[in-house]
Structure 1
Amino acid sequence: MTETEKQVATPTVNKAKERQFKGLSLSERKQQRREKLIEAGLEAYGTHGFFSVTVKDICNEAKLTERYFYESFKKSENLFQTIFLQLIDQLQQNVMQAIVQASADPKKMIEAGLTALLTTLKNNPRMARIIYIDAMLVQELHNQATIHETMSRFDRMIQAFVMASMPHIKISEDEISLVASGLNGYVTQIAIRWVMSGFKQSMEEVLSSCSIVFLSLLNTFSVEIQENSTESIDI
């Protein structure tokens, strides 16, 4: 190789070394740091609460400097929102999976879905605190309609269950949507109280309390379907 060829080749090697560090590209390292911050945030927020944790606390937990925090997030609320949305996705997936795996019996579907919800919360107290305590108090999530959007997702899931389990019911989708919102709000308030008490009441008591309104709904709608069927036969 001539001297000129060596001079041309050397910068190329240096650039390759700049792009890779311990086998990771710059974007991969950035993503790795972001994931560490998310894990640290879950631990810190879930243990001490959002309002007791600073950016410095998060960085200490993640073993990163603060400049790396601002590389991924503008402020602590942005990190909290990211964690909150990930946890909501996980919670919803657990509930949906349980419902799908249950038999076609609406009562068993209700029990499976609510059991999955409550079990997930009790087994993951950090998740429970973030979703049902701190998230309700972080104004940023309300300003960006994050809370409303996530609640709406559970509303739609309940609405889909009602319409699928009782396809012959003669009630408008708008009315069913309102009922679904009410059921979601009912369960949410019970969950908040349960989480804030440190899961003091037994799972059986909480499950029974949550199930009551769903079972009452089934009974009410079943009666209406039977009455409508009777009227059709009489006619």
Structure 2
Amino acid sequence: MAARTYGGVSADERRAQRRTALIDAALELIGTQGLAKLTVSGLCAQAGLNERYYYENFDSRDAVLTALIDRVTEELAVAIAEGLRTAPPDTRGMARSAITAGLRLLTDDPRKAKVALVAGQATPELRARTTESIRLFARMVAAQGIDFYGLTDRHPDPVIDFRATYLVGGLVQTLAAWLQGELPITRDELIEHTTDVFVLLGEDLAGRLSPG
């Protein structure tokens, strides 16, 4: 039996739209009013939905936060991948393009940075989720470096993962400090200084691992 539709929209599509609306509302509440305002009633009021639709999609506040963090993480990964795709084919150009894409995504809409840096630390489970996201981006950095420097035929060296994790983790902490006003530099300066560090550590490691 075919699923019922209203106005050409199926029940599954309407459910997906409501879920998206709730996640959008969570982004707005956290980004503008703080994590404490993320309640069932507050979220539904912001989304313009009945509370029963909240329970149709989520069973806890952590579930909402996880969905929101996952969406920001996915958007960040897509932005970085696009930055790499359109980057100049040199070490600094590629590093700057990827870093610029990522930082712009998080700072053009400061709500997303707040979600990534604040909501991701709200509970042990969310901290674990954030740690996994950092590992994801570290693996992206490591894979890009291995490919760019032609190290694909070598046995994987643990120092590659170490440096990639160090770079991404350090960038997360630096971004947090910058957003809190603890680093009195512009965003362009933040991008350039971050690029300097990525290139320095990447080229140094490539020199150590390259044959000869």
- Using the size of structure 2 for normalisation, the TM-score is 0.87
Give the RMSD, CA atoms, in angstroms: 2.6
The alpha carbon displacement at 1:177 in A equals: 0.9
CA gap 1:61/1:216 in 2 versus in 1, 3 angstroms: same
- Using the size of structure 1 for normalisation, the TM-score is 0.79
Report the equivalent of 1:159. Answer: 142
SS of alignment partner, residue 117 of structure 2 = helix
Report matched runs for 1:29-178 at 5 Å: 29-142=14-127, 145-168=128-151, 172-178=156-162
Q: Which amino acid aligns with 2:160?
A: I
- Decide which structure has the larger Cα Rg and report it: 1
CA gap 1:29/1:118 in 2 versus in 1, 3 angstroms: closer
The alpha carbon displacement at 1:89 in A equals: 0.5
Question: In structure 1, what is the Cα distance between the partners aligned to 2:163 and 2:138?
Answer: 9
- Greater Cα shift, 41-50 or 87-96: 41-50
CA gap 1:123/1:157 in 2 versus in 1, 3 angstroms: same
The alpha carbon displacement at 1:22 in A equals: 3.9
In structure 1, the gaps of 5 or more residues are: 1-14, 230-235
Report if the CA contact (8 A) 2:106-2:113 is conserved.
yes
Q: Which amino acid aligns with 2:52?
A: R
2:195 to 211, 215, 221: 211
Question: Whose helix proportion is higher, 1 or 2?
Answer: 1
- Greater Cα shift, 25-34 or 109-118: 25-34
In structure 2, the gaps of 5 or more residues are: none
Question: In structure 1, what is the Cα distance between the partners aligned to 2:10 and 2:209?
Answer: 62
- Give per-residue Cα distances to partners, 1:181-202, cap 9 Å, x unaligned: 1111111111111223399631
Report matched runs for 1:194-209 at 5 Å: 194-197=178-181, 201-209=185-193
- Greater Cα shift, 91-100 or 28-37: 28-37
Question: In structure 1, what is the Cα distance between the partners aligned to 2:193 and 2:121?
Answer: 22
Question: In structure 2, what is the Cα distance between the partners aligned to 1:138 and 1:225?
Answer: 39
Q: Does 1:187 align with 2:171?
A: yes
Question: In structure 2, what is the Cα distance between the partners aligned to 1:29 and 1:223?
Answer: 54
Report if the CA contact (8 A) 2:65-2:119 is conserved.
no
Q: Percent identical across equivalent pairs? A: 27
Q: Which amino acid aligns with 2:85?
A: V
CA gap 1:27/1:166 in 2 versus in 1, 3 angstroms: closer
- Give per-residue Cα distances to partners, 1:216-235, cap 9 Å, x unaligned: 21442354368x53xxxxxx
SS of alignment partner, residue 119 of structure 1 = helix
- Give per-residue Cα distances to partners, 1:164-214, cap 9 Å, x unaligned: 222259784322111111111111111111223399631122113312321
CA gap 1:212/1:151 in 2 versus in 1, 3 angstroms: same
Q: Which amino acid aligns with 2:18?
A: R
